[in-house]
Amino acid sequence: MRDGKADIAVLVSGGGTNLQALIDAQTSGILTSGRIRMVISSRPGVYALERAKAAGIPGYVVSRKELGSPEAFEAELCRLLDENGIDLIVLAGFLSILSADFTGRYPERIINVHPSLIPSFCGEGYYGLTVHERALAYGVKVTGATVHFVNEVPDGGRIILQKAVNVEEGDSPETLQRRVMEEAEWVILPRAAELVSQELVGKEKEQ
């Protein structure tokens, strides 16, 4: 914790639209109790790393493929996070499932955004367009996004914020995905990062 702010690492795997929402929130003053100190990608060459570079945030690649095992992958993640004194880990389109050993090291200090209203359309295998395909197949009229703490159960941690989004006539998985991102994910992820950062800063002051 530096300058009275929680130190945040954002973990990504792709284009980084949720990362951009966090960067924009930091610029606009929505995210003030925490500061993004680093971005870690599970894949090289993704656009999220360009977004980090443009914002002056150090970017790193930790590739499970190159490291050869989930254990080596998580060990390298832990090394980077601990060396940089990270207080809060934000999963923003991060596609690797983290083990109980990893999540247990950072209790209620890892948050994730999921593109549905948990407990609907969540758990193992529910990510990306699959979530919206299932929502449309089921015929729901309202979907949305959830930010939750991460524990050993996929999408199983305590809910922090949710926001509903209407399903519209003629929606495709792609159009619904975009609306959920714009109207829900990009709104509640920065708010949740601020809420949790506030809590962490408060606890630090109490000690």
Q: Tell me which residues are annotated as active site.
A: 114
DSSP for residue 176: H
DSSP states of 83-105 as a string? HTT--EEEESS--PPPPHHHHHH
9 Cβ neighbours under 8 A, 6+ residues apart: 36, 37, 38, 39, 40, 80, 81, 84, 86, 88, 89, 90
Size of the chain, expressed as the number of residues it contains: 207
The arrangement of strands across the sheet holding 110-114 comes to 59-61, 34-41, 6-12, 88-91, 110-114, 142-149, 159-166
